[in-house]
Amino acid sequence: MRIAIGGLEHETNTYATEPMGTTGRSHFQSGSGEELLNARGQRTFLGGFVDAAEAAGHEIVPTFWAMAGPSGIIEAGAYAEMKQELLERLAAAGPLDGVALSMHGAGVVEGIEDLESDLAAAVKEVVGDIPLVVPLDLHGNITPEMGEVIDLMLGVHEYPHTDSYDRGVECIELLPDLASGATRPTTAVVQMPLLLPTSTTDIQPAAGIRDRCLAAEAADERVIDATFFHGFPYTDVAATGASIVVTTNNDPALAQQVAAEIAAEVWASRQEFLSEATPPNVAIDLARRVLSEQGGPVVMNDTADNPGGGTPGDGTHLLLAMLDAELENACFGFVFDPAVATQAHEAGTGATIQVRLGGRHDDLHGAPVEASAYVKTLTDGRFIYTNQMLAGVRASYGPSARLVIGGDRRGENGFDVIVTSRRSQTFDREVFLLHGIDVNTRSFIGLKSSQHFRAGFRDLATAMIAADSPGLTTREVTVFEHPSANRPLWPLEPDLEWSPPTNT
């Protein structure tokens, strides 16, 4: 088979304000042609495409791919430019047997609420009547229109998304039967009026719904895929919310039946997804208790300032609380602050500098940390991820520094803080190792992430405690008003009654 690969990935936080507000072309990393084959071996959608196609002996036709970190609405001109490049490369590709595109499911463009449907429809116009397969992020706000224009969409089942690569592989493996007509996918999308906070599949209740979906696939060979999409509550569009998507082989009634059954189970367990917010000072008290009873390291994650959901990454609520608590043998990785990183590099290793760290973006995410800091380590911010989610992917955080606040004049016995020049959540321990910190020996670890950090820390942490505070990815989803969303929505309307449709 001749299979074209490419994609356009973005998770849009419509509440994000400057500098993350409007996402322009410069925010996207991209590749075209043979560059896309560099994804070989990486634990990503694109890596799965390449590895599976090469293993099966298919001819890969690489086109265009782009991705930006979660941020605000995509500029119309930027989207038009990237869309046009993808379409032109597909048109120039010659006869194709199938197309595999890496997308997210929560992309929003100026004037376009549903990036995925818009792009998929345009692709189908160019390539004609050949199968289009698309893996999607678990946090997609899935629309029926996506199910109509995409022949097969496979959502990741895990959060952390340790199975993205597997979904990419599966897309390629299913293409031959789609192209021959042996498999005729029929898809049901059941949207639920439900906003969910970030909910890891490591534990209940999300783990149970994930298992229910996998059981539905195993129980009936006609069920190609069943996915629980948690939705992205930080996007204000009509389709915001959780959904169940089931695809069967030429059996729309079965797809609707299975999707409705699982949706009813999610709705019945909706209260279990909510939990009381744990502010940073309470999280620290819990961490101290765990340390005394079980030992360390104990991880505290700053869930409300998670750059993986479109936040600034320079929030200070948890960091300030950890400093005020005078925690011993503690570290924090990391704060996005290019100005302080530059200041450290200009001063050099061994210097002591006065910093105003973080808190540059807005008042919501906390005030700057004003302190004297010893410059312990300077790096270029480059390393390779090793966790199950992103193994093989190269990270580049720009000029970065390990600063020590407190301690002696040589930076011993102080509080270690890593500062970077590029915004990202913390996925694994490699960024610490790059700066000379062995987290295995630490008592307390602070980091910015909602759930993805688990892929890199769950095997070493005695406990993982979410510290919630004001922020654009707080677990308190009711603080986001959602004027554009289809209403009512639970828990914004806590007395809402709902049952899934049972007819196609």
476: closest CA among 279, 193, 215? Answer: 279
Share of the chain above pLDDT 70, in %: 98
Q: What is the mean pLDDT of residues 200-219?
A: 97
Task: Name which residue leads in pLDDT, 77 or 17.
Answer: 77
pLDDT surpasses 60 at 504: no
End-to-end C-alpha distance for the chain, whole angstroms = 34
- The mean per-residue pLDDT over the stretch 220-234 comes to 98
Burial pattern 200-230, b for ≥16 Cβ within 10 A else e, equals bbbeebbebbbebbeebbeeeeebbbbbbbb
| Average pLDDT score, the chain | 96
Instruction: Quote the pLDDT of residue 22.
Output: 86
Residue 79 backbone zone (phi > 0: left; psi -120 to 50: alpha; other: beta): alpha
Q: What is the structure's pLDDT at 109?
A: 97
Residue 473 pLDDT greater than 90, yes or no:
yes
Distance, in Å, from the CA atom of 122 to the CA atom of 91, rounded to the nearest integer, reads: 11
Across the range 444-453, mean pLDDT stands at 98
- In this predicted structure, what is the pLDDT of residue 503? 67
427/392 Cα distance (integer angstroms): 13
Residue 20 has pLDDT above 70, yes or no: no
**Closest to 39 in 3D by CA, of 165, 172, 171:** 165
Lowest mean pLDDT among 7-21, 143-157, 238-252, 470-484: 7-21
For the chain, domain boundaries: 2-273, 280-475
DSSP 480: S
Q: What's the pLDDT tens digit per position in 103-145?
A: 999 999 999 999 999 999 999 999 999 999 999 999 999 999 9
pLDDT band at 18 (very low <50, low <70, confident <90, very high): low
- The predicted structure's pLDDT at residue 149: 97
Q: Flag whether the pTM goes above 0.85.
A: yes
Mean local confidence (pLDDT), 408-436: 92
- Express each pLDDT in 28-69 by its tens digit: 999 999 999 999 999 999 999 999 999 999 999 999 999 999
Kindly list the distances between the CA atom of residue 166 and the CA atoms of 156, 243, 495, in Å, as whole numbers in the listed order: 8, 21, 39
Tens digits of residue pLDDT in 376-407: 999 999 999 999 999 999 999 999 999 999 97
Query: CB of 113 within 8 A of CB of 235?
Result: no
Beta-carbon contacts of residue 241 (< 8 Å; ≥ 6 apart): 141, 191, 192, 193, 194, 195, 231, 233, 485, 486, 489
Average pLDDT over every residue of 68-82: 96
DSSP string, 327-378: -SSEEEEEEE-HHHHHHHHHH-TT-EEEEEES--S-STT---EEEEEEEEEE
CB-count burial class (<10 Å; 0-12, 13-18, 19+) for 85: middle
pLDDT, tens digit, for every residue of 427-436? Answer: 999 999 999 9
- Give the per-residue pLDDT at 71: 94
What pLDDT is stored for residue 277 in this prediction?
82
What the block records as the tokens of 17 is 């304000």
Torsion of CA 363, 304, 239, 66, to 10 degrees: 90
What integer pLDDT is reported at residue 412 of this predicted model? 78
pLDDT tens figures, 319-376: 999 999 999 999 999 999 999 999 999 999 999 999 999 999 999 999 999 999 999 9
**More confident position, 413 or 490:** 490
Q: How confident is the model at residue 228 (pLDDT cuts 50, 70, 90)?
A: very high
According to the model, what pLDDT value does residue 17 have? Answer: 74
Q: Note the pLDDT tens digit of each residue in 256-266.
A: 999 999 999 99
